[in-house]
Amino acid sequence: MHDESTLLARLREGDEQAFEGLIARHDGALRRVARTYLRTDAAVDDVVQETWLGVVRGLDRFEGRSSLRTWIFSILVNRARTRAVTHLSSGYRSGGTSLRISLRGSRAITSFAAIYKKDCRRSG
């Protein structure tokens, strides 16, 4: 695709195709890594969704000291570890009840772009 700095610029501009490509490229691997920390599909879905929201909300703070992929996976691992510890300490046994968003559709991509633009306006 494009080099990372171009991709990052497109993401920061709220480019829906850039978000779509990023999700298409990494979502499956994120789910596989999350599964190593979490027992249920619902928990995996939640953590991956939280990861993508974290990516969208943190784009302006991404400093490029690591690759974009490494940064995304570090967000996932931190969230998955936290969720796993929380669930173990609370005796969590079943799937969560939070809203599920399919990250594969253009509607979700539009939502991520809208969240990013809204966050930019708030902080700007």
Nearest Cα residue to 37 out of 93, 68, 76, 92: 76
Q: How does pLDDT run across 61-108, given as a tens digit for each residue?
A: 999 899 999 999 999 999 999 998 765 555 544 444 343 444 444 444
Enclosing domain of residue 39: 4-123
| Placement of tokens 């709220």 in the chain | 14
Rounded CA-CA distance 70/75 in Å is 9
Compute CA 109 distance to the chain's CA centroid, rounded to the nearest angstrom.
12
The domain spanning residue 78 has which CATH number?
A: 1.10.1740.10
Rounded CA-CA distance 48/108 in Å is 13
Q: How does pLDDT run across 24-58, given as a tens digit for each residue?
A: 999 999 999 999 999 899 999 999 999 999 999 99
Given a contact cutoff of 8 angstroms between Cβ atoms, the answer to whether 99 and 23 are in contact is no
The total number of structural domains that make up the chain:
1
| Number of neighbours of residue 18 by Cβ within 10 angstroms | 21
Read off the DSSP letter of residue 60: G
